Amino acid sequence: MKLELLFSIIFLVLVNNSNADYAFGHRGFRVLDPPEDLTRDTTRVTSNLFIEQKVDNFNSSDTRTYSQRYHVNEYYYNETAKNHVFLLLGGEWEATTGWLTYGAWIETARQYGALLIYLEHRYYGYSHPFSDLSTENLQYLSATQALADTANFIEYINNQYNISSSEAKWIAFGGSYAGTLATWLRDKYPDLVAGAVSSSGPLEAVLDFHKYYQVVRESLATYSDSCVENVREAFSQLEELTSSCLEETEVSGEIDTIFKLCTSIAESEVTDNDLSSLFEYIAGYNFAYIVQYNGRLSITLDNICDIMTNETSGNTALERLGKANDLLLSYFGYTCSDFLYESTVEYLKDTVIYSSSMSRQWYYQTCTEYGFYQTSSQEDPIFGSRFEVSFYTNLCVDVFGSMFNETRINQGIKEINNKYGAQNVSTSNIVHFHGKIDPWYPLGKLTTTEDIGDTVIIVEGVAHCASMYASSANDPADLTAARVEIDRLIGTWLEVSTDESEDSEGADESEDSNVPDDTEDSENPDESQQDNSSSVKCSCNSYVIGLVAIIMFYVAK
């Protein structure tokens, strides 16, 4: 909401990957994967339930419907009180069952005796209104339609569980793009939702999100100024070589070797878009991705800066940048880097539905509502200046057609900011959590509104969606304190005292709540849409493309 991730776009295509969508979009709004090293147990979850929703919630004459998927965990539910429901909103990803048994919200549900529900977003996972992702069929993919789906869903669950609408206390949770939706749900449907917890939710749509890489730079500086200067020097060297020396076989061959390019620059007619892809990829995967998820990956900001500042990694800054790239290639299991722009266009034009696919849908949302294009147009860029906003807006046209031009993108951004208030949203009972090294935090709400009753929590040294993960002994003290404060605020929204929460009829506290994602549910809801890794590899030409537009508000798997 990966998100995601969210969350601009990495247009580099990497070959030899069996999960083509994992990286496309998931540096931005990356899917929120629970850790993989925990014991698997999904026996408490009822998965693959469906509700019939209208394709168009705002046209009474349109009677078409689609099936929207959700999962439920009743383990902590206080069936006597029957009024506390925690709803995790899906973002631009497949909603699998892992988050029904993992995360900070599980600990809170135990405390307050809450029913847990995870709702998949329309057009993602198994919740598709149409049989393909043609541009015409994507016209009903929007935040406003998704919020209306959620409002209908809440009323449906109240009826299914015999919950009195006057006594129901729904709390919405979301990370990244889904965190944005949680905020807007509380703002637009306050009669249905008692409160919302938004983790790393960007609220201001913006065409040129140049602040993203500014935060990446500031985060690298927490390691050392030397790291920043070596990165700057490496990209400066690369920019000089690609600007004037590509016709020299020796120079272009050096670039091929340093970055293990799948297609030789020396043997190709390289376009400006190809070079923009190359720069955005190197900046995105080697730095922005690591910074955004620092602490959640086995590779950290410190690891990358260690390479960039250690001359044993290479005689020049450019060679050291190549070593950092080698580390990321190994991390993802890739053998080479494909920087060709047309590969990206071809990939995003694929209209076939796979349950794990999110790239085409999310890029459509950036072209119609959000922008979020993470550019190199800072006043003092350290990642070169190759990936400007026109690079991303041109991709909208090349993928979806001439009408999806910059004028239309800007109109969509203006409309959504006017509709939802951007960073000026001021509604009670919302927590806006941000990590200070998360490059998305500049687009979130950063100041508490006086006399409204919302809460902004910004924690130094933590990254994207940090508050959503289960507590750990390694957590910074400020992050632990933030989770405690969020739990306390939820109690006030539920009108539950501390003593009452301790006496909740939920499950035994000794029960393990840290259970990871079972990405293959025990029941496949639709044979025609089952994910098939070999099909993904074929349709994507074994490419994986990184969408730095977020990919997110990744946000929650």
Q: Which of 8, 176, 359, 513 is catalytic?
A: 176
Q: Which of 187, 199, 464, 521 is catalytic?
A: 464
Find tokens 């749509």 and name the residue.
Answer: 205
The residues near 474 (Cβ < 8 Å, ≥ 6 apart) are none
The residues near 86 (Cβ < 8 Å, ≥ 6 apart) are 105, 108, 109, 114, 115, 116, 117, 170, 171, 173
How far is the first Cα of the chain from the last one, in angstroms, to the nearest whole number?
9
517: amino acid identity, one letter: D
CB 434, CB 479: distance < 8 Å: no
Q: Positive or negative CA dihedral for 258, 262, 263, 267?
A: positive
Instruction: Please give the structure tokens belonging to residue 62.
Output: 């349109």
Nearest to 159 by CA among 183, 128, 192: 192
What three-state secondary structure class fits 77? coil
Q: Which of 438, 487, 521, 531 is catalytic?
A: 438
Pairing mode, strands 65-73 and 115-119: antiparallel
Q: What is the 3-state secondary structure (H, E, C) of 326-392?
A: HHHHHHHCCCCEECCHHHHHHHHCCCCCCCCCCHHHHHHHHHHHHEEECCCCCCCCCCCCCCCHHHH
Q: Is 71 a catalytic residue?
A: no
Q: Is 438 a catalytic residue?
A: yes
382: amino acid identity, one letter: I
- At residue 323's C-alpha, the angle toward residues 320 and 328, to 5°, is 135
Nearest to 45 by CA among 71, 78, 70, 82: 71
Q: Which residues pair with 28 in a beta bridge?
A: 551
Q: How many residues does the chain have?
A: 557
- Separation of alpha carbons 160 and 147, rounded Å: 20
CB 142, CB 369: distance < 8 Å: yes
- At residue 113's C-alpha, the angle toward residues 110 and 118, to 5°, is 80
Find tokens 């069996």 and name the residue.
Answer: 18
- Separation of alpha carbons 11 and 276, rounded Å: 8
Instruction: Please give the structure tokens belonging to residue 94.
Output: 């497949």
Instruction: Please give the structure tokens belonging to residue 489.
Output: 């605020």
Q: Is 464 a catalytic residue?
A: yes
204: amino acid identity, one letter: E
Question: Would you name the residues annotated as active-site residues?
Answer: 176, 438, 464
